[in-house]
């Protein structure tokens, strides 16, 4: 499998591009607003975009999804509970003091347990609300098992819950019920910062001590 990680935008959101070598199909998780760099990776590996997936609708993750949709034609997917956040992305831009991005119609809403297929790969959707109402994590099935935790779980930390619709109790419940169920060796790729594992977070993450 091809897995490229690009820290994109001024908040360094980790964009992951997962490509299937056999079919040359790819999914793009959280492209941020650096569409050209995503396009360069697709070109470098001769990949066609199959899905554009947002773990949640904060502007650092979704700023470029409209443009990426326009240049690739790939459908845009997110959880319906974050649609109000996405539709108000201009307010998020004003909050950060940046120009409002172009907005696109969401093609498909993600629900807990959905299976997204591209090439021979399957990505399972895990609803992990708390950082935002529609935050999801994504679980790549099979021997290359890994989790994309968005802004729900970071190395040594968890996502902030003081933004629109956040809930501290909910994010802890999501982490406990959905993420800590995975084996200790499971790699985790957070929305910001370095990768980690479920075991390392269970052991060292101060926010998870109370779980
Ligand atoms: Zn966020
Ligand atoms: Zn973020």
The bound ligand whose nearest atom lies closest to the alpha carbon of 152 is 1
pLDDT tens-digit map of 85-108: 999 999 999 998 999 999 999 999
- Which residue in 137, 129, 120 sits closest to 50, CA to CA? 120
> How far away, in angstroms, is 22 Cα from ligand 2 center?
31
Mean pLDDT of 49-63: 97
Q: What is the pLDDT of residue 170?
A: 98
Ligand 2 centre to CA of 149 (Å) is 11
Ligand found nearest the CA of 164:
1
User: 37 to each of 7, 21, 150, 196, 200, how far by Cα in Å?
Assistant: 10, 20, 20, 24, 31
Kindly report, residue by residue over 143-160, the tens digit of the pLDDT: 999 999 999 999 999 999
């Amino acid at each position: 499998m091809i897995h490229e990680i690009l820290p994109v935008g001024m908040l360094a959101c980790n964009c992951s591009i997962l490509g299937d070598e056999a079919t040359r199909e790819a999914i793009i998780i959280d492209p941020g607003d650096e569409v050209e760099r995503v396009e360069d990776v697709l070109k470098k590996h001769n990949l066609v975009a199959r899905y554009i997936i947002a773990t949640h609708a904060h502007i650092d993750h979704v700023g470029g999804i409209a443009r990426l949709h326009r240049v690739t034609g790939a459908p845009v997917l997110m959880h319906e509970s974050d649609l109000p956040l996405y539709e108000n992305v201009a307010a998020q831009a004003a909050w950060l003091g940046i120009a409002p991005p172009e907005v696109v119609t969401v093609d498909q809403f993600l629900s807990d347990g959905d299976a997204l297929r591209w090439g021979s790969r399957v990505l399972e959707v895990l609803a992990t609300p708390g950082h935002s109402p529609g935050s999801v994590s994504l679980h790549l099935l099979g021997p290359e098992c890994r989790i994309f935790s968005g802004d729900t779980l970071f190395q040594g930390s968890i996502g902030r819950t003081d933004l629109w619709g956040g809930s501290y109790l909910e994010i802890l419940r999501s982490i406990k019920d959905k993420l800590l169920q995975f084996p200790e060796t499971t790699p985790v790729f957070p929305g910001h910062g370095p990768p980690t594992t479920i075991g390392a977070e269970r052991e060292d993450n101060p926010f998870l001590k109370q779980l």
